[in-house]
Amino acid sequence: MAVSRPSPPPTQAAADSAALATPVAVPAKPPKPRSRMMRQYDLVERVRSYNPDTNEDLLNRAYVYAMKAHGSQTRASGDPYFTHPLEVAAILTDLKLDDATIVAALLHDTIEDTEATRAEIDHLFGPEIGALVEGLTKLKRLELVSREAKQAENLRKLLLAIADDVRVLLVKLADRLHNMRTLEFVPEASRRRIAEETLDIYAPLAGRMGMQEMREELEDLSFRTLDPDAYRVVMQRLDALTDRNLDLIGEIESQLAKKFRDNGLTARVSGRRKKPFSIWTKMERKSIGFEQLSDIFGFRVIMPDVESCYRALGIVHTTWPVVPGRFKDYISTPKQNDYRSIHTTVIGPGKQRVELQIRTQEMDQIAELGIAAHAFYKDDVGSPTELLKRESNAFAWLRHTIGILSESANPEEFLEHTKLELFHDQVFCFTPKGKLIALPRHANVIDFAYAVHTDVGNSAVGCKINGKFAPLSSELQNGDEVEVLTSEAQSAPPSAWESLAATGKARAAIRRATRTAVRDQYAGLGRRIVERLFERTKLDYADDKLKGALPRLARASIEDVMAAVGRGEIKASDVARAMYPDYKEERVVRYGAKKGQAAVAKPATEPPRPPSAIPIRGINSGLPVKFAPNGGAVPGDRIVGIVTPGEGITIYPIQSPALKDFEEEPERWLDVRWDVDESTPQRFPARIRVENVNEPGSLAQVATVIAEHDGNIDNISMSRRSPDFTELTIDLEVYDLKHLSAIINQLRAKTIVARVDRVNG
């Protein structure tokens, strides 16, 4: 998208919300100018026009209370501050909302910006209105360091408030719309940031709620601010094209209406042109010029009922040639924001491309007003939120998005997920049993699997698309039938899937499963460390006994304790002391090592390690295990484990000089032993240093020896020791010590090799 959105410095973050309290007067679709501030009776009449049973006394009291509360406060434009909540209320009367929402709009800044309190609002106007006003007030009480975190936290607060009452969203969108309409009075730097946030969050959110008219105005207002030159050029060309085609538009409208009338259908046909921002984004997306656009003008056909819509479609398709690939039936398959309409494009009168949207009056109202089209002011419909739960798919998306809140580790992560879902159009796919799954465009099978169920996503190992095997990363198209193949052996997805997923739900689930798997690894390690300590000290261990000691360890569950031990946050001796207050920590001497010396191996006659030693099977053992960074360790080596907080166990061969760095930290040493399954051999890391003659082909000979003996070279570094010799440091993967020794012996037998040594870092 060509609209530039530079990231402002974090120090400006706190200025944004203050700037939003300042107005704007540059709408793409300007509001009707008023010569004076709207009076009480004007507001009452606006509400009464669609709700004859309005509570006039409530509206009058709210009007007077808000005006007195804001008193002499002014906006950046110089207008009385009260004009802002009044205009927000006026926008909501255009949406025909209930009395409580109109009153909340009048009062929405009182708790934040005046001496008013929630208790006072409750007392004067009732707890329902008080809750609405507080839900809006909470959004402004955040002072975070980064702009992104502030934006994300405000969105989280907004969505959580919507979960209680969706009318909070409608007031917030109206509030943002009026701020955008008066944005010209805001300082330029803040103006751009506010426009970016509107384009990033509020306009797409309005679209997701089906409020297309509001979305388009928010987009165009943002576009005008962010790229005024592009906006001006598009508007000039759009106006010129409209002037040239006025007669053609009227002719197409009349021909369409006549065609329907001749076939016994009553239809209302109207032409409309695309909005500047929509035109600009299409030009950018398809890399085409204005003259190449063929659907700048569209025609809306309003029919009395659904049956008439399909009859009208038949008439259009049998009268004019259809443009292939431009037919979509959103009546039989509505969008998630409740949008329903039939879209088609034909080569119509005058050989012009004519884009048609065929829908009923009710569908048209929902298409423009979205969730606000539901009659909140009617009696006996229950609460607005309960009404939407029954009638609105858009609200179902909101509840799903709110569900991601608990799965996001931080505000920025949640914002990323929500933006992904706000911006994408949809594709519709099917399960083998015919269940419809709606996904964002560019979604793949991983997203599909998580949309079916989190467990399906976590255990997915393959898929079939339309009966053919395909990669899980395959992008899905409209109408695809997708079968996800799962395996019980896979309980957690690869972490790399997170970068492949296109939906917030899938990314959140993958991230959560990865965290859970890592936590389980640490908990498993911690349990082994604790059980080993209790076995060595001859103390009785039982989960029930540890459960009673949880308060002393400041942990909520046994698993939390074990994970903390595994991560090195709690010592096993702390667990013993919490369960047995008289326990005294044992002092461990590592193989008689003296200060300043590395621990050395015990004599060959020493007894085998006790059963309490933790078994090591490799990096896939279910424990957070890694090997010494400078030399590794292989089965056959005598090994010791070193616990690193937050990283798990690092396995060192006992002869490693690096162990001297841990002499003063005996609590980090673990007894470990190899537990290799010979039926499923694994490779382990080792490092060798080869000094060879510097002649052509010498490196190839070394590599050939390693390959012939089934070794795998992971990395090679070279250095010139003298004109005649080159030193190679080679990181290998081998099965065990015997395998490594065989490779070293074969290398020593080569005439071009002067010396080979194993490296123990």
User: Which residues are known to be catalytic?
Assistant: 112-113
Cα separation, 52 vs 489, whole angstroms: 64
CA dihedral sign of residues 84, 86, 92, 97? positive
Q: What is the DSSP string of 327-394?
A: -EETTTS--TT----EEEEEE-GGG-EEEEEEEEHHHHHHHHHGGGGS-TTSSSS--HHHHHHHH-HH
Q: What is the DSSP string of 17-28?
A: HHHHTS-----S
Strands of 482-486's sheet, edge to edge? 468-470, 460-465, 482-486
DSSP-assigned beta bridge partners for residue 259:
none
Contacts of 387 (CB under 8 A, 6+ apart): 374, 376, 381
CA dihedral sign of residues 276, 277, 278, 282? positive
- Per the CB < 8 A criterion, the answer to whether 692 and 726 are in contact is yes
Cα separation, 198 vs 359, whole angstroms: 29
437's enclosing H/E stretch is strand 436-440
Question: What's at 299, amino acid-wise?
Answer: F
In Å, the largest CA–CA distance within the chain is 106
Q: Residue written as tokens 């949008």?
A: 339
- Per the CB < 8 A criterion, the answer to whether 234 and 296 are in contact is no
DSSP-assigned beta bridge partners for residue 485:
462
DSSP-assigned beta bridge partners for residue 427:
439
Contacts of 651 (CB under 8 A, 6+ apart): 616, 625, 626, 627, 628, 633, 639, 640, 641, 672
Cα separation, 161 vs 92, whole angstroms: 18
Closest CA to 559 of 618, 615, 516, 495: 516
